[in-house]
Amino acid sequence: MPTEILMPALSPTMEEGKLAKWLVKVGDEISAGDVIAEIETDKATMEVEAVDEGTVAKILIDEGTEGVKVNTAIAVIAGEGGDISDAAEAAASAPAAPEAAPSEPAAPKGPEPEDDPEVPEGTEMVSTTVREALRDAMAEEMRADGDVFVIGEEVAEYQGAYKITQGLLDEFGAKRVIDTPITEHGFAGLGVGAALGGLRPIVEFMTFNFAMQAIDQIINSAAKTLYMSGGQMGCPIVFRGPNGAAARVAAQHSQDYSSWYAHVPGLTVVQPWSAADAKGLLKSAVHSPNPVIFLENEILYGQHFDVPKLDDWTVPLGKAKVVKAGSDVTLVSFGIGMAYVTKAAEELKGLGIDAEVIDLRTVRPLDINTILASVKKTGRCVTVEEGWPTCSMSSEIGFQIMEKAFDYLDAPVARVTSKDVPMPYAANLEKLALPSVAEVIEAAKAVTYTA
């Protein structure tokens, strides 16, 4: 029986990759464990090993092909005693391999934001991944200011666990791109000390899940020192890294810390969605004289958005953005939550509901005025986030709307959040635990009293 070799998923969030090189050719005998190909993901080049024994009957995807979806058949192996030409034919007549496996990650891709009033007219836009945008932001800031440096686990020689710091070591050297031991509490504190001493560290956490080891230094040392010193001693530092659920990494690696950090006076907390905002906000975070928590998302890293080609593109901290104007209901979200919201807004249009969509971008300070202006217009609000419901950003937004726009509300504020459970591993349960587009639509229908 011929066996198909499928494009493997080489990381929890990989959806496609480049078939960089074949190390076998048609007619080669292979056995399990042989390296047969090299595949480039957006994070690394990986070797693919054969699982079965047999003879290579057909190469279905040429080397050098980019964007090969996970689970696409890339070659056919004739089993022992099998005829390789039969196998090749069988493969040719077989139904096409299923199109990738877009079920993972769960979050859908939304449309690009509408024209951005922050971008000067006529500016060239460059399609850029969030990953590249973050890297570019750091590189630009490091070129501009010798006091800016990056420190964290695997940021230098490994080029970043998620390849956000790719290329920085080559350009800036080991003095400014610093690999640490696995010692979050220690290097977070060291970074805060360096910031108190006048440097401008960018501390990368491999994920914010690991920053819980360091949260005392972030809150007690970074956030409070300016106040405790009567304004003498500021702490210009950025803590950044992926936050929230990735895909199938379960409870200890899937937590959204937005509301944890947003709770703390002295911190600025950012969670961008688009690449343009990721770049512009990270640059502003590095400029900030205050400690900034910069929450990224692994699923967004590989997504493309247009980024304005400008010498110094920055996005102000603390300023939400109306991504889509609308009149019937206000949808408020941030970070990857925007993926649900933008998709839901499109579908709601088909139902005759015109949603206004707000991307908070910064969750502390909360740009409540932008939300209130919208709610006063629409009279209805749905908040959407991947955090847990209790003491969430939604709790805060809902409360402030009640305090400041109570008389404008035509329905109670609704929220769509992760379920109040630790993140399960099983694919179906994970999907249930996360918010969904359907839930956003249901909530919007409920607050607009649409059947």
Partner 1 sequence: MATKPKTAATRNQGGTHSRSRQSTSRTAKKTPAIAEFSKEQELAAYRDMLLIRRFEEKAGQLYGMGLIGGFCHLYIGQEAVVVGMQMALKPGDQVITGYRDHGHMLATGMEAKGVMAELTGRRGGYSKGKGGSMHMFSKEKNFYGGHGIVGAQVPLGTGLAFTNVYRGTDNVTLTYFGDGASNQGQVYESFNMAKLWHLPVVYIIENNKYGMGTSVERASSNVDLSERGASFDIPGEQVNGMDVRAVKAAGDRAIAHCRAGKGPYILEMLTYRYRGHSMSDPAKYRSKEEVQKMRTEHDPIEQVRKRLLDKKWAGEDELKSMDKDVRGLVGEAAEFAQTDPEPDPSELWTDILH
Q: What are the residue numbers of the active site?
A: 184, 253
Shortest CB 68 distance to partner 1, Å:
41
- Identity of the residue, 27 or 265, whose beta carbon is nearer to partner 1 in the bound complex: 265
- Identity of the residue, 187 or 388, whose beta carbon is nearer to partner 1 in the bound complex: 187
Evaluate whether 20 touches 38 at the Cβ level (below 8 Å): yes
Q: What SS3 state is found at 102?
A: coil
Q: Which of 24, 156, 226, 397 binds partner 1 (CB under 8 A)?
A: 226
**Segment interacting with partner 1, rule: CB under 8 A, options 161-169, 216-224, 433-441, 442-450:** 216-224
175 binds partner 1 (CB under 8 A): yes
Shortest CB 180 distance to partner 1, Å:
7
Q: Which of 216, 403, 410, 420 binds partner 1 (CB under 8 A)?
A: 216
- Identity of the residue, 217 or 448, whose beta carbon is nearer to partner 1 in the bound complex: 217
Q: Which of 8, 79, 193, 424 binds partner 1 (CB under 8 A)?
A: 193
**Residues 422, 423, 429, CA angle at the centre, nearest 5°?**
120
Shortest CB 221 distance to partner 1, Å:
6
Chain centroid offset of residue 169 CA: 23
Cis peptide before 105 (omega within 30 of 0): yes
The DSSP result for 277-289, as a single string, is HHHHHHHHHHH-S
Q: What stretch of H or E contains 150? A: strand 148-152
198 binds partner 1 (CB under 8 A): yes
Question: Strands, E, within 90-147: which ranges?
Answer: 125-129
Shortest CB 267 distance to partner 1, Å:
9
422 binds partner 1 (CB under 8 A): no
- Identity of the residue, 102 or 265, whose beta carbon is nearer to partner 1 in the bound complex: 265
- Identity of the residue, 192 or 275, whose beta carbon is nearer to partner 1 in the bound complex: 192
**Segment interacting with partner 1, rule: CB under 8 A, options 25-33, 262-270, 376-384, 439-447:** 262-270
195 binds partner 1 (CB under 8 A): yes
Shortest CB 217 distance to partner 1, Å:
6
Footprint (CB under 8 A) of partner 1, residues 263-322: 265-266, 268, 288-290
Footprint (CB under 8 A) of partner 1, residues 139-158: 149
Shortest CB 366 distance to partner 1, Å:
14
**Segment interacting with partner 1, rule: CB under 8 A, options 57-65, 232-240, 342-350, 430-438:** 232-240
Burial of 383 per CB tally in 10 Å (0-12, 13-18, 19+)? buried
- Identity of the residue, 264 or 275, whose beta carbon is nearer to partner 1 in the bound complex: 264
Q: Which of 220, 400, 436, 450 binds partner 1 (CB under 8 A)?
A: 220
Strand order in the sheet with 65-69: 45-49, 35-40, 16-22, 65-69
196 binds partner 1 (CB under 8 A): yes
194 binds partner 1 (CB under 8 A): yes
Angle between helices 337-350 and 437-447 (to 10 degrees): 60
The C-alpha atoms of residue 69 and residue 438 are separated, in whole angstroms, by 26
Number of alpha carbons in the 13 Å side-chain half-sphere of residue 309: 7
191 binds partner 1 (CB under 8 A): yes
Q: Which of 180, 254, 342, 392 binds partner 1 (CB under 8 A)?
A: 180
Amino acid 159 reads: Q
How far, in Å, are 107, 273, 327, 450 from residue 323 at the CA level? 18, 11, 13, 23
Q: Tally helices (H) and strands (E) across the chain.
A: 14, 22
Shortest CB 179 distance to partner 1, Å:
10
- Identity of the residue, 93 or 232, whose beta carbon is nearer to partner 1 in the bound complex: 232
Burial of 105 per CB tally in 10 Å (0-12, 13-18, 19+)? buried
Cross-strand pairs, 58? 76
The C-alpha atoms of residue 432 and residue 189 are separated, in whole angstroms, by 37
Shortest CB 262 distance to partner 1, Å:
14
Strand order in the sheet with 329-333: 321-324, 355-359, 329-333, 381-384, 414-416
261 binds partner 1 (CB under 8 A): no
Binding site for partner 1 (CB under 8 A): 149, 175, 180-181, 183, 185-199, 216-217, 220-221, 225-234, 265-266, 268, 288-290
